[in-house]
Amino acid sequence: MMERKNAWKEYSPTEITQLEKLCKDYREFLDAGKTERECVEEIIKLMKAAGYEDLEQIKKNGKKLKSGDKVYATCMKKTIALFHIGTKPIQEGMNILGAHIDSPRLDLKQNPLYEEQGFAYLDTHYYGGIKKYQWVTIPLAIHGVVVKKDGTTIHVVIGEKEEDPVFCITDLLVHLSQEQLEKKARKVIEGEDLNIIFGSQPLKGIEKEAVKENILKLLKETYDFEEEDFISAELEVVPAGKARESGFDRSMILAYGQDDRVCAYTSIVAMLEQEQPTTTSCCLLVDKEEIGSVGATGMRSNFFENTVAELLDALDEYTELTLRRTLANSKMLSSDVSAAYDPTYGSAFEKKNTAYFGKGMVFNKFTGSRGKSGSNDANAEYIAQLRRIMDDNNVCYQTAELGKVDLGGGGTIAYILSLYGMEVIDSGVAVLSMHAPWEMTSKADIYEAKKGYLAFLKDA
């Protein structure tokens, strides 16, 4: 069996300092961005501070782009593409880092608020693949926007500050759970039972639905919004609380939404740290991966292609043919989290072809399920080039599949970009308890992923 080395064993004190700095900044990014919208806002802040300009503004001003320029483009405030123009003609292709910034969660329904037996509830519809029983009896926060008919947007974040209230979904007490505990795990808590308790205090002097009336009064006072405004709201229920260091040796991070913000953040840092690239660098951070990359802000939309067309136009190089060449000649690391080997559930993994904590950035030749179905299967020639780049830059890496062959599987955005005929490979960071409210990663893997992205942007 080919052994991959453990990254921790090689670090110098300087590297440990860099690793700790990166992971601290990463935790702050996770705290600031618990939804795709918050992530995009946060990324724009970081990029603007580093001299990135809004492509739309550049087009409006009729400004032209040249090598060295740094621009970003967004789609509906939920997806963002970053470009750092290289010295080589763009037609020769770009080096693209891709990841997604949406994470599994509970969305409020459009008509969410109701009262039952003295409780006001918010009804939810879960987003992405979750084990529903993991979401009860933990503190929850609500993040999102309410857009009123007049177009004004109310930003909502409740449950993150020390003095904020938090929310909760109840579970049946164990004393009365004889029947519940006989059920299959997928049925123990059902989707329609993911109801958030939102209040219990009745409004004085009101007979009917007095608790709900009190909530509506508070919503009006706090945010100036009416019940009907829920119709045009995107309110996401996520685990409350900050990303934390984990383990007595503080070698890991426990946080919500690391799938796939761990890859998104390390990709951004690579974009920020790189010097003037030869090959144009691109970082594409998309929404809707967890529900199949659908919609205008998902990878399957034309946003990316249109943005590259706009970019070529701003470089005075747009033709249909240069667009196609630029895309086909590009190379991509399509980054998403990998399932880390979990000794407690060892039988789900095939030990030779599994990602391990501390063994660095992960490359997956393919993903998919039932015989690689739905996966992008990266070319051996491309993988050989990446091996060279990673070794030349001292990046610790490993290769993996997602668990045992017939146990299940999953897809990523890789196959969508490969439709342009470009080289694409799945890569990323190993995660324990993927899609759980709190997911775990290794600091060493985060550090190695950032190093790997930087090496890719420079040398691919």
Helix axis angle for 443-459 and 380-392, nearest 10°, is: 110
Fill in the DSSP letter of residue 274: -
**Nearest to Mn ion of 148, 372 (CB atom):** 372
Stretch that binds Mn ion, among 51-59, 140-148, 306-314, 334-342 (CB under 5 A): 334-342
- Shortest distance, position 412 Cβ to Mn ion, whole Å: 7
- Shortest distance, position 428 Cβ to Mn ion, whole Å: 8
Measured distance CA(452)–CA(244) in Å, rounded: 24
Residue of 260, 423, 426, 439 interacting with Mn ion (CB under 5 A): 260
Fill in the DSSP letter of residue 337: -
Measured distance CA(261)–CA(241) in Å, rounded: 16
Residue 305's nearest CA partner among 69, 75, 78 is 75
Measured distance CA(439)–CA(243) in Å, rounded: 10
Stretch that binds Mn ion, among 38-46, 51-59, 88-96, 252-260 (CB under 5 A): 252-260
Stretch that binds Mn ion, among 322-330, 331-339, 343-351, 356-364 (CB under 5 A): 331-339
- Shortest distance, position 127 Cβ to Mn ion, whole Å: 11
Residue of 38, 115, 236, 336 interacting with Mn ion (CB under 5 A): 336
What are the start-end ranges of the E strands in 200-309? 233-239, 244-246, 252-255, 280-286
State the sign of the Cα–Cα–Cα–Cα dihedral 364, 370, 376, 380. positive
Q: Is 287 in the site for Mn ion (CB under 5 A)?
A: no
State the sign of the Cα–Cα–Cα–Cα dihedral 249, 242, 450, 439. positive
What are the beta bridge partners of residue 368? 410
Give the Å distances, CA to CA, from 460 to 159, 384, 420: 43, 11, 18
**Nearest to Mn ion of 65, 255 (CB atom):** 255
Stretch 209-248: interaction string toward Mn ion, x if CB under 5 A: ----------------------------------------
**Nearest to Mn ion of 246, 367 (CB atom):** 367
**Nearest to Mn ion of 52, 349 (CB atom):** 349
Measured distance CA(418)–CA(368) in Å, rounded: 15
Chain position carrying tokens 């190089």: 317
**Nearest to Mn ion of 29, 52 (CB atom):** 29
**Nearest to Mn ion of 36, 260 (CB atom):** 260
- CB 343, CB 356: distance < 8 Å: no
- Shortest distance, position 369 Cβ to Mn ion, whole Å: 14
- Shortest distance, position 336 Cβ to Mn ion, whole Å: 4
CA-based max dimension of the chain = 75
Measured distance CA(107)–CA(233) in Å, rounded: 10
- Shortest distance, position 435 Cβ to Mn ion, whole Å: 6
Residue of 42, 259, 423, 426 interacting with Mn ion (CB under 5 A): 259
Stretch that binds Mn ion, among 29-37, 209-217, 299-307, 336-344 (CB under 5 A): 336-344
Residue 68: what residue type?
G
Stretch that binds Mn ion, among 81-89, 139-147, 251-259, 448-456 (CB under 5 A): 251-259
- Shortest distance, position 103 Cβ to Mn ion, whole Å: 7
Stretch that binds Mn ion, among 171-179, 260-268, 393-401, 436-444 (CB under 5 A): 260-268
Helix (H, G, I), strand (E, B) or coil at 265: helix
Number of residues in contact with Mn ion, rule: CB under 5 A? 3
- CB 400, CB 364: distance < 8 Å: yes
Residue 398's nearest CA partner among 363, 370, 435, 431 is 363
**Nearest to Mn ion of 85, 283 (CB atom):** 283
Stretch that binds Mn ion, among 50-58, 106-114, 259-267, 295-303 (CB under 5 A): 259-267
Q: Which residues bind Mn ion (CB under 5 A)?
A: 259-260, 336
